[in-house]
Chains A and B, each alone.
Chain A
Amino acid sequence: MKHLIEALHPVALSDTPTRIQFIQSNRWIKYPAAERILERLEELLAHPKIARMPNLLLVGETNNGKTLLLKKFCQLHKPYATLGDEKLVRPVVTVEAPPKPDEKQFYRKLLDQLNAPYRQADRLDRMERQVFHVLQHLDTRMLIIDEIQNLLAGSSTSQRVFLNVLKGMANELQIVIVAAGTMEARNAMSADPQMANRFVQKFLPRWHYTEEYLRLLASFERLLPLREASRLTEPALAERIYAMSEGTIGEISAVITTAAVTAIRAGKERIDLKLLDQIDYVLPSERRRFQGVSA
């Protein structure tokens, strides 16, 4: 089983449920664009406290690996207790923006994320103070807000309100704010020159059919506990996967994962064109069109 990394040999030889569970567990796959962003996040986390902290806006299309990348970063900076277990420290805190631009909702989500008790009906300013107090207490140095476009949706007034919330947090707490979102978020942020200035933008571009893409497929294959080599980088297979995924890493991963699971269930030990034909997979653009119709 030379197509696999050695550590996975026992997994490849284990029973069906174990293998399927392993495949579906969202493993992190290294690729240059993500590695560069992880490095940048490390630099930001180590940034000394100054009056105007640098922030980051991570832009990428839906399902293009933002969330997984941020999760990976969080796993590298888990909470810990200080000596004697006296105090809890959470260097990095992640929160997903609420579906609507509602400040209170945002603070509630954040307090939930921090495992803090709070009063549902509290006044906005008191809630804000509580959030600041808890983040300070936890020695938080970076706040990551995923799906930031939700907060920046709506009228320009509500956009401004939220940009001010972010500005206030960054100033008062002197923490790094990492916002992650789609192109809409980028447009909203660009509308405020001051914010655009303080949020350096990083992109997670869509994948093109390049050497890099083929290297990504090779990485995937080395981590799939199949007993035979599939040779995903062979042009026929690589092109098919590319077409099915439409170039986002989330979809690439989904196609390969689904195919691998189908293979194992069918008693096959490799992914081939026939198998890719068999799997029940709707093109992402088609899926979006259907959603558009039904909504």
Chain B
Amino acid sequence: MTPILSPDALLERRILPCTFHPSEDELLSSWLVRLAQAHRVKVQLFSHYLWPQIVVWKRDIDKLAPPHMLNTLVVRTLTDPHRIAQTMLAPAVERLTGTQLLHVKRGPTSWLMPVGIVHRTRQGNGLVYCPGCLQRDGANPYYRTSWRLAFYVVCPTCGVYLREECPACGAPVNFFRLDMGHQNAAEQLLSTCYKCAFDLSQAPMQPVPAQELSRYYTLYRVSREGWKEAVPYPHQYFRVLRQIVRVLSCPFGEALRLQVDVRLRMGQPVTWPSGGGAFEQLPIARRIYLLEQAMWLLEDWPARFIRVMHDNQIKSYTIRRDMAEEMPFWFSSVLVEHFFSARNRSWSQFEH
């Protein structure tokens, strides 16, 4: 619902002169940078003008911005509060994890790729992009909320793999640093590499094979509306997906055996890169590698999963090890029925 904007209210609210709505699925930070450009000022000045009391770029405003920051935008732009709320990732992450995201909570968030602090060099690439989408945006390229989510590794619209770096210089995406040292910041499209000025919309596009693409379609559908009737909430699927990915990313022992076997069964080459870490912090190539195996394992549920686990003699302990969140019933019931041995004492763990 759009509130009725009376002329007096427009004056009283001191509406910014060059305001516009965020684009479809646009990230808050991307919208802010474009608003600053529209007013012909640098991002830092623009945010200082609107929020003199906070250092906007030191926090992950795309995850969840403080309420008074959002209030200012509600008052000083023409965009309604509901639409502004959609520029943040909190609702999406809450759907995927089934837990409420509190702003005070710092540190890692499941499925959300972390971004570094502005003045630090970013090693981790917390934001990816689709050259095709940036190209289609024409004169106003912008960044999508889904490009911060760790399982968004392909673009469902363009059918290509997303990219995490500038193909020319290897720098990560840092569109809010574009105006540093530039006088005419307003003329820099958001698709410009902040380091070498390469136009990221011209980056090479690598098509996703049809079979993989349909897996991603399914995954993205699940992320919005749940898996199936018996598993109606996205988090009931995504908790398990994250656990399988964690098991597979362990580079030794049973897990290593498992992931080599899965790759062979999928008919794909085994190229296990060294090292590990949280899924959200892995380079995109490794996330693709792991996601595709995990999605494959959860197909034909539970027959394929049971067969592969049994063939590789994977113990139930390995499968549920370090699982931080509560195990959904559709998963725990299969574990109990097919993998639980009488000697295992932690039976109660599977119960709800």
Contacts and interface: CB of A to CB of B under 8 A. Distances in A.
B39 A134 contact: yes
Given A81-B78, A85-B79, A88-B78, A115 B40 contact: no
A117 B41 CA distance: 7
Given A116-B16, A116-B39, 10 more contacts: A78-B10, A78-B11, A80-B7, A85-B78, A85-B80, A88-B19, A116-B18, A117-B45, A117-B49, A137-B18
B264 interface: no
Contacts of A114: 17
Contacts of B169: none
Interface of A: 78-81, 84-88, 90, 114-119, 126, 129-130, 133-134, 137-138
Contact of A78 (B7, B42, B76): B7
Which of the four size classes fits the interface of chain B? 20 to 34
B185 to A, nearest CB: 11
Interface in B42-72: 42, 45-46, 49-50
A10 B14 CA distance: 34
B2 interface: yes
Nearest to B5: A81
A118 B11 CA distance: 19
Nearest to A140: B17
Interface in B77-97: 78-80
A186 B92 CA distance: 64
B10 A80 contact: yes
B8 interface: yes
A117 B50 contact: yes
* Closest CB pairs A-B (n = 6): A78-B7, A117-B49, A85-B78, A115-B14, A130-B40, A137-B18
A176 B324 CA distance: 67
Contact of B2 (A78, A80, A85, A90): A85
B216 to A, nearest CB: 33
26 contacts: A79-B11, A80-B5, A80-B7, A80-B10, A81-B78, A85-B2, A85-B5, A85-B79, A86-B21, A88-B78, A90-B17, A114-B17, A115-B14, A116-B17, A116-B18, A117-B16, A117-B39, A117-B41, A117-B45, A117-B46, A117-B50, A118-B41, A133-B18, A133-B40, A137-B17, A137-B18
Contacts of A80: 5, 7, 10
A79 B41 contact: no
Interface in B1-33: 2, 5, 7-8, 10-11, 14-21
Nearest to B6: A78
Nearest to B2: A85
Given A81-B78, A116-B17, A117-B46, A88 B10 contact: yes
B10 A79 contact: yes
Contacts of A138: 17-18
Nearest to A138: B17
B52 to A, nearest CB: 11
Contact of B40 (A84, A85, A87, A129): A129
Nearest to B46: A117
Contacts of A90: 17
Contacts of B18: 116, 133-134, 137-138
A81 B17 contact: no
B12 to A, nearest CB: 11
Contacts of B21: 84-86
A133 B38 CA distance: 9
A137 B2 CA distance: 23
Q: Which of B7, B38, B49: most chain A Cβ within 10 A? A: B7
Contacts of A115: 14-17, 76
Contact of B20 (A87, A119, A126): A87
Nearest to A117: B49
A143 to B, nearest CB: 14
Interface in B324-342: none
A133 B40 CA distance: 8
Contacts of A78: 7-8, 10-11
Q: Which of B15, B50, B76: most chain A Cβ within 10 A? A: B15
B41 A119 contact: yes
A84 B20 CA distance: 10
B20 A86 contact: yes
B17 A119 contact: no
A87 B77 CA distance: 9
B84 to A, nearest CB: 12
A88 B5 CA distance: 11
A38 to B, nearest CB: 18
Nearest to A132: B40
A139 B300 CA distance: 60
B41 A88 contact: no
Contacts of B42: 119
A115 to B, nearest CB: 4
Interface in B203-250: none
Contacts of B50: 117
Contacts of A116: 16-18, 39
